[in-house]
Structure 1
Amino acid sequence: MTALFLALSAVPAAAQDESQPSAAPAEATPEQEGEIVVTAQFREQRLQDTPIAITAVNAEMLQARSQTNIAEVAAQAPNVTLKPQGPAFGPSLAASIRGVGQYDFNPALEPGVGLYVDDVYYATLTGAIFDLLDLERVEILRGPQGTLAGKNSIGGAVKLFSKRPTGDGSGYVYGAYGSRNRIDLRAGADFKLTDDLFMRVAGVARKQGGYVDRLDFGCVNPPGSALNPAVGGVASLTGGDCRITRDGDVNYQAGRVQLRYTPSDRIDINIIADYTNDDRNAAASVLLLADNTANPNIRGNATAVPYDSRFICGQYCNYASYFSPAGSWQTPPVAGYPLIETRGDGRSKFDGWGVSGQIDFDINDNLQLQSITAYRQYDLDFTNDDDNSPLAISNGFGNLDYWGFTQELRLNGSMLDDALNWTLGAFYLDQRSTYATFQDIRYAPIPLQFQGDDPVNASTKAAFAALSWEIIDALTLNLGARYTDEHKDYTFSRRNRDGSLNPFLGALDGVTGVYDGSKFDWRVNLQYRLSDEVMTYAQVSTGFKGGGIGPRPFNPAQVQPFGPETLTAYEVGIKTDLFDRVVRLNAAAFFSDYTDIQLTLLACPQFGGPGPCALPQNAGDAHIKGLELETTIDPGNGLLVDGSLSYLDFDYTSINPQAGGPSAPGGVQEGMIAPYTPKWKWAFGVQYEVDLGTTGSITPRVDASYQSDIFSNAVNGPNNHIDGYTLANARLTWRNPDEDLEVSLEVTNLFDKYYLLTSFDLTGAGAGLVSGQPGRPREWAVSVKKTF
């Protein structure tokens, strides 16, 4: 609901800015002690002094809104869309800010939104649905961050900052129980090991039953019944109870250990190790459309059952089998080609860990050196049954193995009595991923059962500089520049399960695609403080997302390179604290010139079709215009009101003939918009703390948020259109007089709205199917938190 607010609980004193430039208001008053401090410009600044569109939320507000993962935070952030992906993409995130982003998890593709935890860049969308564990704050930076973040984040950046060890002996224990046997356990503790060595540990364990029933079609509809005729009928796979399992469940454990060493007042060393295990069924998914009655190969045998609407189960159920029987191909030119049986378990298993270290060294009072070093590794196994039917016309079984190393150096300096602040830096990323997969696709014109084992090597080198110059007392010029050099190579492997060369895709086996590119980005920002209550700014900035080679070619003609996409953004904004800081109102308006947009085509007859396609291309250019408002009203009497509103207009100005337009009618056309780009978003929250005297306090809170309709495919159509929706949450919290014990009752999706988070439309590829991921129904939970 809001980002820009006077936080209810104090941010640790160590996070407060002790050296504000004179263009900022005078020293914080007692009413401002809860002010959020951000580091978007490489140094600590009050949120209201930072001339960037930022949504910043502290841990207390995240809990008050009943938010437990990063995707949920986007509901209150203007022009920000973060969605957990459906089962076809594994445990990954679809991320978009101001109409710019990425929704494909494949490591060959660059995220359009940069994701950071404690300033460490996360290079893939897989595993990016971060649990909000032991956080101090979340910062969401909107617009290109080409000069202000470790990586060239073209759409924006989402940054999570965990609480640092202080040795104060504090800690907390949290437990919750709720719908479908939901159990959440969280705990954190801060220890002083020696006078200059501190440790903080935190952990979370979450379990909950799923909300979409996976049913056995042959059990629900026995052979010979109206929906399952005896000839070519679908047999039961289970017998007995027709429910196989429930998708959309939760089984998540994570932990973090930090060691902080401060041998002197000039050296601060913080080392973090974390581990995550996410072992559960596939994401919740339902079949929305099924129409492929003309294809006799959907089962691969002579008694193929028509693939039609009989397999649409309902709002919260599916008939996914993750099973395709052995048989033979039915149609020329390869009729009789043998097909092997494939079978999966419908599980998703993510296991990841990382180590990072940050060194802050104050060389002198005006010069600081920062080093951020990190190594991350994960292993993911997942299966997908794209059609959610007993026929399993599109099965996938994947293993994604990843490791990445990053190193960032920053030299921060100040001079002229802090009127001039500057940063020089360098960033390095080296990563390798191997996507091993077996695909069984039976709706294509030819049999496509193949094994892939595709390594991707990628590296990024960058140098950057930033300068902030207070020209006069209220006028500050902010400049930034970054040079980036990137390399990526992708090697294809297309084999049969026994290791022999695949006869249909073998021409791709051993082929390596290489991308090398470089880019210079810049930023010019001028901020002017009209008074202690009002600051304005104007900015021009650029960003880019690197190119590459399409990772999923189905014929040699689809081995097509795609170039980088670029964006130049023009923005004006105002940040205000009005009526003796009772009302905070911030606004930003922007215009983005977006060129060579990378979009994935799911139908591309112009590249060797017809047949399956998942080809990234530079689809064209667009202009994006938008407006963003955020407000907080805090009269100081226990009432807090916060809200946000955003508008976005996406308009193609030209379309690449290879990717769409009149010459490619199945591609992108004028009037379409980028995926997961709502035109309107709003959010509203209100809470009121009632003082009960010696029995403590009670705080009711209500949140509501709205997102207008979106499309899930680059090629917009009625089958990938997702209706807009409004959601509401409610929470009631009691705190004891010492405010170290609280008990809460929460209800999410208060009015039990049925809505879709994502959808997967394969009608353009000839599959005749559309699946969707429904959002969670109404859920309740009771929680208890004890701090010490």
Structure 2
Amino acid sequence: MKLSNRTSCALAVAAALASLPAVAQEAEKAAKGLERIEVTARKTVESIQEVPVAVTSVGAVELAEKGISTVVEVQQMSPNTTLQKSRGTNSTLTAFIRGVGQEDPLWGYEPGVGIYVDDIYMARPQGAVLDILNVERVEVLRGPQGTLYGKNTIGGAVKYVTKQMTGDTELSVKGTVGSYGQKDLKFSGQLPLLEDKLYLGVGYANLNRDGFGSFLTSALDGQDRENYNKDLQAYRLTLEYQPTTDLFVRLNYDKTEDKSNAKGGYRLLPSILTDAPVPDSKYDSYTSLPTWNKVENEGLSLTIDWEINDEFAFKSITARREGYSPTNIDFDNTSLRIFDVPAIYDDEQFTQEFQLNYQTDGFKMVSGLYYYTADSCGQFEAILDVLGQTAFGTPGLTREVRGCSNGDSIAAYAQGTYDLTDKLSLTAGLRYTKDEKEATVYNGLVFTTVYPESGWVPGYVRDENLINASVPKVLDDKDDWSRLTPKLGLEYQYSRDMMFYASYGQGFKSGTFNPRASGPEIAADPEIVDSFEIGMKSDWNNTVRFNATLFMLDHKDRQYISVIPDPNDSSVLNQRLGNIGSSEAKGAEIELTVAASDDLKIFANLGYIDADFKEVLSYVDPNTPIDISDRYSVTNTPEVTASLGFNYTIASSMGDFIVNGNYYYRSEYDLVELDNLLSQDSYGLVNLGINWYSDDGHWTVGLHGKNLTDEEYLVGNYAFIAKDPANPGNYIPGLGGDHTLIGYYGDPRTFSLTVGYRF
């Protein structure tokens, strides 16, 4: 079984590769004034201006012309949205929308923002940093999507929609060179096997880049010292069958092999246990672990679309995904084994969805049945050799935690819109979900250095007998939950080009067991988000598009680790996962497009949010829990996000030139939830690009510069220290006995040149 990290990357790569288009220039030439943007936010094709949902859609033309390479850049187009590469790997996604997400990517935890590729749910954040490779569009749905999309969309959803093949014989090739030794090659082709009925698509991508920095020291010889590098290959096969205009079948297979190094963090404080000063570069690090990292993913999906008649449409989506990822995370980032965490993530999932849609004059409805089953397993070794030597006099000390969180989920949903009058419509929906989850956790101390597998480091042999004797099963339990999630809204079509709407929606994140449990404990119940929203969508004289939203949400039963005394020994404090927190948020979002002329378009968006914890209970004294909400921060959520950009077309005898640029701003935000020690100051990114399209439609060339002012900004962290109350400005060492305050950073200034040819 090998699949879950970067599975999505493979899917996106493949999708791109299966239909690499040269239609960008035709689409751009055809777009005079405001273009009609179609989305599937409500699981049926609609104009974005007709959908009473706060949704941003970024199409293939815009993605290509801006040189957007990964999903994290899409956050610049969507207000109140955070999409970042997570901490110790290049492929794990940290996603927050309107202050709601999930920071810890450990197996067993559920995400707060759902990731979908062609309506297929990607269950884990590992592998969700998708490379944008000519998908048809990316949609960002803000706010709970619990009725149509189900659990784990309490913040919203990010949807990738890939392209359907044209049916012609095609071959496309793209090559990119750029900063830090970037060398990318992508090609795709399609071949009709039965004219106008059966088509075969193939694709391949090879994406390479040197590191932004390096590992300055390593306790192991012969290790690749590149840090923040990229080494990825992806393959895809697609069969599309359309025997009639009413029936469409697509079979996809994709595989990704990612050999990019594990990502080392930047020490924000010098080590007190070894010679590891703060490095000069934010992208340099130290490590005592191997630097290799491996992600293998495979996926198979079958989609059937059947237009039964003018009123009814049926859709079936069947998908299986598998992923396997051994990774090395050096929490302390030193050459000593102070706090090393080699780990393995091992996942597989199967989903089946049936949709039945109905539409007639005055009424339309989306309904469906959904089944999901997944095994999410993993293990990590917390190697604390220095602590073992000092406290126990042993040659090493390792805490091993391993286990599985296996779940099944079934759901039924329906959402309909009824026209009360020519202008006023009512939308109502309801989803019933039944979740079952079974978890096992093994947790114990081994008084030696332990790695997940033999050969993890040269010469290491894993002693299973010793480990099994030291690492007992501490949790073996199951639980189930059921939930009804409603949606209710009113839409008022003031004029043909202006709509007002108001809605209430609810979403929930699944209950879960503590994957780090040290003993028996009950599962945490689901998190609940209630959201209220009012909005306006408007077009003015086919030149100005102005969409605005006001929202308020109540996030209850947040799942957090709390400290609880052992009932048999008051001197022992246990960490338990429970529903101990609640938060609220209110804010506004504006999205603006101005077609200043046939050649010049201006884009802007603005997001504002005020998000705070209202209650977090501490159970140090179980009889009198206290509220410590003032110690908690809503992380990865700037108060203000904003972007201003332009797109200008220059027609010439040599072909069309398209110049674009944007400035993206994020105000200050915190990165540590409890007793925040790390905040990122406000910053802005400047991006510029120029694209050329040949008149014959064969050649494309793009030159792009990203982060031109070379801003340094934090996107992740590890914080294992505490402020010293007796000595202001000083810190108390945390787990591992060192000053472990580690930062991970976004990409530095880069330039790239892409040349494409379509045969």
Structure 2 partner of 1:440: 383
Q: Quote the offset at 1:659 in angstroms.
A: 8.7
Check whether the contact 2:110–2:510 (CA below 8 A) recurs between aligned residues.
yes
Q: Quote the offset at 1:318 in angstroms.
A: 4.1
Q: Answer yes or no: is 1:714 the counterpart of 2:673.
A: yes
SS in structure 2 at match of 1:472 = coil
Select 2:463's aligned residue among 498, 504, 517. 498
Q: How far apart are the structure 1 equivalents of 2:524 and 2:714? A: 31
Select 1:723's aligned residue among 660, 681, 687. 681
- Counterpart AA for 2:304: I
Q: How far apart are the structure 1 equivalents of 2:382 and 2:22? A: 51
Structure 1 partner of 2:10: none
Check whether the contact 1:660–1:669 (CA below 8 A) recurs between aligned residues.
no
Q: Answer yes or no: is 1:573 the counterpart of 2:559.
A: no
SS in structure 2 at match of 1:462 = strand
Structure 2 partner of 1:517: 481
Check whether the contact 1:311–1:390 (CA below 8 A) recurs between aligned residues.
no
The correspondence of residues 295-444 of structure 1 with structure 2, limited to 5 A, is 306-307=273-274, 310-316=276-282, 318-322=284-288, 344-415=289-360, 418-442=361-385
Q: Answer yes or no: is 1:649 the counterpart of 2:610.
A: yes
Structure 1 partner of 2:64: 63
Check whether the contact 1:144–1:156 (CA below 8 A) recurs between aligned residues.
yes
Q: Quote the offset at 1:474 in angstroms.
A: 1.8
Select 1:258's aligned residue among 238, 255, 260. 238
Q: Answer yes or no: is 1:629 the counterpart of 2:590.
A: yes
Check whether the contact 2:259–2:295 (CA below 8 A) recurs between aligned residues.
yes
Q: Quote the offset at 1:571 in angstroms.
A: 0.1
Check whether the contact 2:564–2:621 (CA below 8 A) recurs between aligned residues.
no
- Counterpart AA for 2:365: W
Per-residue CA deviations over 1:492-529 (Å, capped at 9, x if unaligned) read 123655234669974x5252132311111000011111
Structure 2 partner of 1:197: 198
Q: 1:52 to 1:116 in 2, by over 3 A?
A: same
Q: Quote the offset at 1:613 in angstroms.
A: 8.6
Bigger shift: 565-574 or 629-638?
Answer: 629-638
Per-residue CA deviations over 1:600-643 (Å, capped at 9, x if unaligned) read 56xx4757999999864323222210100111111342111111
Q: 1:448 to 1:57 in 2, by over 3 A?
A: same
Q: How far apart are the structure 1 equivalents of 2:548 and 2:635? A: 25
SS in structure 1 at match of 2:463 = coil
Check whether the contact 1:111–1:125 (CA below 8 A) recurs between aligned residues.
yes
Structure 2 partner of 1:741: 699
Per-residue CA deviations over 1:311-360 (Å, capped at 9, x if unaligned) read 322333545232xxxxxxxxxxxxxxxxxxxxx31222100010111111
Structure 2 partner of 1:761: 719
Q: How far apart are the structure 2 equivalents of 1:723 and 1:370? A: 47
Check whether the contact 1:672–1:715 (CA below 8 A) recurs between aligned residues.
yes
SS in structure 1 at match of 2:578 = strand
SS in structure 1 at match of 2:36 = coil
Q: 1:145 to 1:660 in 2, by over 3 A?
A: farther
Q: How far apart are the structure 2 equivalents of 1:33 and 1:583? A: 7
Structure 2 partner of 1:682: 642
Check whether the contact 1:213–1:316 (CA below 8 A) recurs between aligned residues.
no
Q: Quote the offset at 1:711 in angstroms.
A: 1.8
- Counterpart AA for 1:38: V
Select 1:620's aligned residue among 578, 581, 589. 581
Bigger shift: 134-143 or 262-271?
Answer: 262-271
- Structure 2 residues without counterparts, runs of 5 or longer: 1-20, 447-461, 723-733
Check whether the contact 2:137–2:160 (CA below 8 A) recurs between aligned residues.
yes
Structure 2 partner of 1:556: 519
Q: 1:502 to 1:277 in 2, by over 3 A?
A: closer
SS in structure 2 at match of 1:491 = strand
Q: How far apart are the structure 1 equivalents of 2:621 and 2:256? A: 41
Q: How far apart are the structure 1 equivalents of 2:176 and 2:317? A: 35
Q: How far apart are the structure 1 equivalents of 2:240 and 2:203? A: 14
Bigger shift: 464-473 or 111-120?
Answer: 464-473
SS in structure 2 at match of 1:626 = strand
Q: How far apart are the structure 2 equivalents of 1:405 and 1:501? A: 35
Q: How far apart are the structure 1 equivalents of 2:428 and 2:466? A: 54
Q: Quote the offset at 1:9 in angstroms.
A: 10
Per-residue CA deviations over 1:536-593 (Å, capped at 9, x if unaligned) read 110000001011111113x438x46322110110000101111x11111111110001
Q: How far apart are the structure 1 equivalents of 2:689 and 2:570? A: 53
Q: 1:354 to 1:660 in 2, by over 3 A?
A: farther
SS in structure 1 at match of 2:167 = coil
Check whether the contact 1:182–1:207 (CA below 8 A) recurs between aligned residues.
yes
SS in structure 1 at match of 2:63 = helix
Under a length normalisation based on structure 2, what TM-score does the superposition of the two structures give?
Answer: 0.86
Bigger shift: 432-441 or 744-753?
Answer: 432-441
RMSD: 3.0
Structure 1 partner of 2:731: none
Q: How far apart are the structure 2 equivalents of 1:561 and 1:462? A: 21
Q: 1:363 to 1:609 in 2, by over 3 A?
A: farther
Q: How far apart are the structure 2 equivalents of 1:701 and 1:115? A: 28
SS in structure 2 at match of 1:289 = coil
Q: Answer yes or no: is 1:454 the counterpart of 2:403.
A: yes
Q: Quote the offset at 1:182 in angstroms.
A: 0.3
Q: Quote the offset at 1:456 in angstroms.
A: 2.0
SS in structure 1 at match of 2:500 = strand
Q: 1:368 to 1:712 in 2, by over 3 A?
A: same
Check whether the contact 1:577–1:583 (CA below 8 A) recurs between aligned residues.
yes
Per-residue CA deviations over 1:142-201 (Å, capped at 9, x if unaligned) read 000001225451110000011112303345321110112101112233332213112333
Q: 1:382 to 1:468 in 2, by over 3 A?
A: same
Q: Quote the offset at 1:134 in angstroms.
A: 3.1
Structure 2 partner of 1:113: 113
Check whether the contact 1:712–1:760 (CA below 8 A) recurs between aligned residues.
no
Structure 1 partner of 2:415: 466
Q: Quote the offset at 1:491 in angstroms.
A: 0.8
Q: How far apart are the structure 1 equivalents of 2:135 and 2:612? A: 38
Structure 1 partner of 2:154: 154
State the identity as a percent.
Answer: 29
Q: 1:382 to 1:36 in 2, by over 3 A?
A: same
Q: How far apart are the structure 1 equivalents of 2:158 and 2:470? A: 39
SS in structure 2 at match of 1:454 = strand
Q: How far apart are the structure 1 equivalents of 2:672 and 2:570? A: 19
Q: Quote the offset at 1:48 in angstroms.
A: 0.6
Check whether the contact 1:458–1:487 (CA below 8 A) recurs between aligned residues.
yes
The correspondence of residues 578-597 of structure 1 with structure 2, limited to 5 A, is 578=540, 580-597=541-558
Check whether the contact 2:612–2:634 (CA below 8 A) recurs between aligned residues.
no
Q: How far apart are the structure 2 equivalents of 1:161 and 1:478? A: 25
Q: Quote the offset at 1:668 in angstroms.
A: 4.8
Q: 1:517 to 1:442 in 2, by over 3 A?
A: farther
Q: How far apart are the structure 1 equivalents of 2:621 and 2:494? A: 48
Check whether the contact 2:427–2:488 (CA below 8 A) recurs between aligned residues.
yes
The number of residue pairs the alignment matches comes to 699
- Counterpart AA for 1:565: E
Check whether the contact 2:602–2:646 (CA below 8 A) recurs between aligned residues.
yes
Q: 1:237 to 1:458 in 2, by over 3 A?
A: closer
Check whether the contact 2:611–2:634 (CA below 8 A) recurs between aligned residues.
yes
Q: 1:117 to 1:547 in 2, by over 3 A?
A: same
Q: How far apart are the structure 2 equivalents of 1:486 and 1:567? A: 17
Q: Quote the offset at 1:130 in angstroms.
A: 1.1
Select 1:638's aligned residue among 599, 604, 614. 599
